Amino acid sequence: MLAQSKKPLPPRDVAVAIDVEYSSIYNILYRLERKGLVDRDEFGRVLLSITPQAESFKRLYYAHQSSPLNRILTGRKLELLLNLDQNPKTADEIQEDTKIPISTIYYYLKDLMKLGIVRRITKKTPSKGTHRYIFNEILWEDLKTFLTELSKAEGIQKMPPGSILIKNYGNSILFKSIRQQDATPTSFSVYDKYGVSLFLMRTSNYYTLPKRYLSIMDVFIHSLDSADDISHRLYCIIFYIKNKQKLGGVRHPMLKDIKNVLNGKHVNGFPTHEEVMDRVSVYAI
């Protein structure tokens, strides 16, 4: 309704349009304001915001006007879809990442597959975790863009001032800062604890919130998501070589590139096999 309207609407009209009690509409509008999706004028009337996430929602709305967006954007479906942003996952892997009850995950996946938002990929050889699920970006590119913009905005709200968001995982955020922050150090900031010193390489301070214990796999995944140049990716590869036995459970699209480099293949944006081997000798691996 707000995506269509060219003028601000009274909250009562919005309540009638979406069929909710008038007493509930202010809580709904408050949550939408916090997400940067709507604004209110000086008379309390509601209009769609001009933020990136609101603009991307408008494009989504016009691209899929016949689709039940209210069904797609409810509950924890957004969290589930964000978790499918990189590579296919089994329902168990989604549950491990999001902590959404497994029965709810299967219910969501079934509904999202009906709408063509999620595709199921089945291995030819039956095994545990035969079915994997992936976001259908070909049909739902506008939904993916909206989720990305919304996730980015929500992550920024959670960050300390003066920080730069790297990634919002839904239940946690990864960010960097030139200043020390009251958060859990991670990524390259703790590489030395696992035998990989960055020597004189200049780097930001990397953190995650909420504060919590991090496993070596958490640290490695954070560094993969933080690596934005060849020198960072070189250290990721060194870390992988040195701690490979402890990183067997890591799932990340960059792992394929790392393995290709270690097999002597050229990968754009990554160090060569020779450069990696030269650095490996420094760490006596």
pLDDT digits 0-9 by tens, 17-38: 777 887 788 888 888 888 888 8
Q: What is the pLDDT of residues 56-69, one digit of tens each?
A: 999 998 999 888 98
Which of these CATH numbers, 3.40.1440.10, 1.10.10.10, 3.40.50.300, 3.40.50.880, describes 72-142? 1.10.10.10
Mean pLDDT calculated for residue range 262-267: 94
The pLDDT confidence band at residue 165, using thresholds 50, 70 and 90, is very high
Which residue in the block uniquely carries the two structure tokens 């499918």? Answer: 84
Q: Where are the domains of the chain?
A: 72-142, 159-282
The pLDDT confidence band at residue 124, using thresholds 50, 70 and 90, is low
Mean pLDDT of the chain: 88
Residue 127 above 60 pLDDT? no
The pLDDT confidence band at residue 281, using thresholds 50, 70 and 90, is confident
Quote the pLDDT of residue 114: 95
Quote the pLDDT of residue 236: 97
Residue 129 above 80 pLDDT? no
Quote the pLDDT of residue 260: 95
Quote the pLDDT of residue 221: 96
Mean pLDDT calculated for residue range 9-23: 80
Quote the pLDDT of residue 10: 83
Quote the pLDDT of residue 176: 95
Torsion over CA: 129, 109, 212, 87 (sign): positive
Higher pLDDT: 41 or 141? It is 141
pTM, entire model: 0.67
Residue 116 above 80 pLDDT? yes
The pLDDT confidence band at residue 70, using thresholds 50, 70 and 90, is confident
* Ranges 66-75, 191-200, 205-214, most confident: 205-214
CA distance 246 to 258: 16
